[in-house]
Structure 1
Amino acid sequence: MVAMKKIDWDAAYSNGAYIPGGNDFPPKWKTLAADFRAEMTDAGRLKADISYGPHTRNVLDLFMPRGEMKGLAVFVHGGYWMSFDKSAWSHLARGPLTHGFAVAIPSYELCPQARISDITVQIGTAITHAAAEVPGPIHLTGHSAGGQLVARMVSSTSPLGQPIRHRIRKTVPISALGDLRPLMRTRMNETFHLDAVEARLESPALLEPQEGIDVTAWVGGAERPEFRRQSALLANIWSGFECCADMVEEPGKHHFDVIDGLADGEHPLTRALLCL
């Protein structure tokens, strides 16, 4: 009889403790984002704090490109549905903006004030609101918990209406949480309050993708094994349906710097998101 391996699920889903200088990243993000917001404000290309719902945190920033718009890119932040807001990620709009895409970055209500299923609905509303402001194709990306949220937008039970879904050309979940069931075994679940039913209903890897979607699961090669496994799981399962699904493991990148490519218009991550 083979002995079962005991897994420390809290360690499996911990990131900062396993990244050299991990505590330095959040203040760095805030500084980069603030500088970029100031630059865009001075240029008259930022529509800040657009309300999309009834809650205080139901606001988004919309960064506008120079000249004619080619479409809308949306970035949804992570933080395990418990932390951060739109203000730490503004600089990640730079890459899509250089190619003529407007970029929406929403905040959302956090756990435990909201359940993960509530946040899914809020992100659907935010995307719908931004899509009403910007014509053309829609490209979605999100990091970690945000990766789960954008993958949910292109699943069979998406909260998005069909007119919006039909405008989505590409979805890139970055270091996404595709299967939420392991999180029920972490201490974080004291905040999530996930049960088996919600975990299944909000796990993109356990749902059918919308037919015809184009998805690339993006993950860092130096990330925790669970994040690499989760990205591979989503790409593997969804590739069995009538859609295009693949995975990119970016060499050397960990959970905190895997998103950096979005700030560079010529980085493969930005080019993958915009189908360039």
Structure 2
Amino acid sequence: MIDPLWLFLAAVVLLVCAAVLWWAEKPAVPTGVFLKSSDDLTDEWVRGAAAGMAPKDVRKAIIDDREFYLANVGNTPVLAVRKATQSDVVLDFRTFESETDLLPVQHVAGFELYSNDPDVAKRALDDRMEIALQALDVDAVWAESEWVLAQFKDKDPAEITAALGLFADAAAVLPPRSPKPLVQLDPTRPMVAPRETAVVEPEDPAKLVLLEPVRKPKRSVPTALGVVEPRPVGVDDIDAIAEGPAQLPESDGTRIIRPDDRPTIF
């Protein structure tokens, strides 16, 4: 016969295991620091339902190493998660039509996408973002600056924290507002150590060195170089210029010389 004490202990163990399983499967509820209002978030949230209105009843929580904020903007609850980087590109997904200063991009997962840079928005749409959009049962979700926000009604915010976090991870591919320094980037491959290259200096051309300096003539000192025959000045037999018959050079060939005589009619 089984001892009743063992049956009691077994029942206690089963109850403890059931409680642990129930607690593990229960979604994380964003509970944490409570703020009545936040003026800082008013300056940072300028799109969607948060445009021009101050968030009230702000609640901050850390879930899966992400910083979440749950707030009421007017009569609309908004759940926000902070991204790793800031970006000037805005992604605005809506299930309803409203006036906006953004450009329409395309229809994806039941949402109409608007952005201030359609080309970048199309490149940012990947499998992770589409999976997150399909899991987000919300009215609107948008990414601005370093935030990803979701607007919803009659929805438990704990049910969309995982999908909103996945959306924030996918939105990290947007171009950052300021590029990161090289030391903060993820490593790709080991960098090769710099090589020391020998600097080759150009050699001076060979110079001719004379054993004796060259003696050059000077105007102040008369100097005779070589043999000069003495002759009187003005007795050289040189024909005068422009006198005598014209002498044709031997290279003229068959050229005819035109006479320069004046016409006889005058």
TM-score, normalised on structure 2? 0.24
Instruction: State the TM-score, normalizing by the size of structure 1.
Output: 0.24
Larger relative contact order (CA 8 Å, sep ≥ 6):
1
| Largest Rg, 1 or 2 | 2
Q: Which structure carries more helix by proportion? A: 1
